[in-house]
């Protein structure tokens, strides 16, 4: 036995040396790494911002992860992230919890705009819905496509998990706070919902506009009298598309140092331009 352990010593020494060397070889950190966590809708956007910003500022490290707006806000409250990305506004009870822990109500920074698109399979004949129809579909009172002018087939509902800001936004702004039908199949992540709808001729889903690839966006009418509007840069920007929302950064306190530099850059024309390249919409 002793023999074996002795043999391990040089190996262990080598590993330690390697670890030290690789650590030393990393670029000297200009500051602490900034952690960004939250909305799955915003994860790609956040990563692009972080990549570009890290390119511009050698040595700065920004780590972006998803999990859902609720996850990000919980992380902000639990003190495990610097910036929370959220696709919905923080709720009152969440603000109170943050105040209990950190004596602050948090800082809200709108960083981009997003159109929440409602989409269906490419073969679906229905091209437009009123908000009330979307609402009834997701409440489960409209169950067949022929009730909204389509073929005779049961509507298959897809949606997000309840940790998602998109779920919260949809529940509040489309369903008026009422409960989703129990028949909504929930999938982890917007991309999974898009994938499911793209495979299901009778499916309907909702999510951030940037993700709607392989499915067809529904034109939305505010009510029976208004015109049908597709989610495009122009309609989300001018507010004529009824299902648009702001995307936020939340911080515990006013940003300082590297975090402030990052937030300022995100709000700068460069950062906003990147947002529209990824498929979101600039604030201005």
Partner 1 sequence: MSTVQPRRHVRAAQIRRERLIEFALRACAFSAVAGLVLIVVFVFKEAWPVLFDPETQKEASLQRFFATPLWQPVGDIPKYGLMPLLTGTFKVVAIAMLFAVPLAVLAAVFSAEFAPARVREVLKPAIEMLAGIPSVVMGFFALMVLASWLQGVTHSEMRLNALTAGIALGLGVIPTIFTVAEDALRAVPRSFREASLGLGATPWQTAWHVSLPAASAGVAAGVLLGLARAVGETMIVLMASGNAAITSADPLDSVRTLSASIAAELAEVVVGSPHYSTLFFLGALLFTITFLINVAAGAFVEQLRKRLAGA
Residues that bind partner 1 (CB under 8 A): 67-68, 70-71, 74, 77-78, 94, 97, 154, 156-157, 161-163, 167-168, 171, 177, 179-180, 182-188, 196, 199-200, 202
- Nearest distance from residue 3's CB to partner 1, in Å? 18
Nearest to partner 1 of 94, 136 (CB atom): 94
- Nearest distance from residue 109's CB to partner 1, in Å? 22
Nearest to partner 1 of 69, 235 (CB atom): 69
Nearest to partner 1 of 197, 247 (CB atom): 197
Nearest to partner 1 of 179, 264 (CB atom): 179
Tracing tokens 């706070």 back to the chain, one arrives at 177
Q: Which residues contact 26 (CB under 8 A, 6 or more apart)?
A: none
- Nearest distance from residue 141's CB to partner 1, in Å? 15
Contact between 43 and 211 (Cβ < 8 Å): no
**What gap in Å lies between CA 58 and CA 28, rounded to an integer?**
9
Within 10 Å of residue 253's Cβ, how many Cβ atoms? Answer: 11
- Nearest distance from residue 257's CB to partner 1, in Å? 28
- Nearest distance from residue 78's CB to partner 1, in Å? 7
Cα–chain-centroid distance for residue 149? 32
- Nearest distance from residue 124's CB to partner 1, in Å? 15
Report the length, in residues, of the chain.
284
Nearest to partner 1 of 14, 141 (CB atom): 141
Tracing tokens 């409250």 back to the chain, one arrives at 77
Nearest to partner 1 of 34, 157 (CB atom): 157
Let me know if 281 is exposed, middle or buried by CB neighbors in 10 A (0-12, 13-18, 19+): buried
- Nearest distance from residue 103's CB to partner 1, in Å? 17
Nearest to partner 1 of 89, 157 (CB atom): 157
């Amino acid at each position: 036995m002793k023999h074996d352990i002795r043999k391990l010593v040089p190996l262990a020494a080598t590993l330690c040396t390697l670890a030290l060397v690789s650590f030393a070889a990393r670029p000297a950190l200009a500051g602490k790494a900034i952690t960004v966590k939250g909305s799955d809708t915003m994860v790609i956007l956040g990563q692009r911002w972080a990549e570009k910003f890290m390119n511009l500022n050698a040595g700065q490290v920004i780590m972006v992860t998803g999990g859902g707006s609720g996850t990000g806000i919980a992380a902000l409250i639990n003190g495990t992230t610097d910036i929370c990305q959220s696709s919905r506004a923080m709720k009152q009870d969440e603000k109170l919890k943050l105040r209990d822990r950190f004596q602050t109500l948090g800082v809200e920074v709108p960083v981009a705009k997003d159109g929440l698109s409602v989409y269906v399979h490419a073969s679906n004949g229905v091209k437009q819905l009123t908000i009330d129809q979307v609402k009834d579909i997701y409440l489960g009172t409209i169950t067949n496509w022929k009730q909204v002018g389509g073929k005779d087939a049961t509507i298959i509902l897809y949606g997000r998990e309840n940790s998602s800001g998109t779920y919260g936004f949809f529940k509040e702004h489309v369903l008026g706070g009422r409960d989703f039908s129990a028949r909504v199949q929930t999938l982890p992540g917007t991309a999974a919902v898009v994938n499911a709808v793209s495979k299901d001729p009778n499916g309907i889903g909702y999510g951030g506009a940037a993700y709607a690839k392989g499915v067809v966006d529904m034109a939305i009418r505010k009510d029976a009298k208004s015109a049908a509007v597709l989610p495009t840069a122009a309609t989300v920007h001018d507010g004529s598309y009824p299902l648009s929302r702001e995307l936020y950064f939340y911080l515990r306190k006013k940003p300082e140092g590297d975090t402030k530099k990052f937030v300022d850059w995100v709000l700068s024309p460069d950062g906003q331009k990147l947002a529209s390249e990824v498929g979101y919409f600039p604030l201005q």
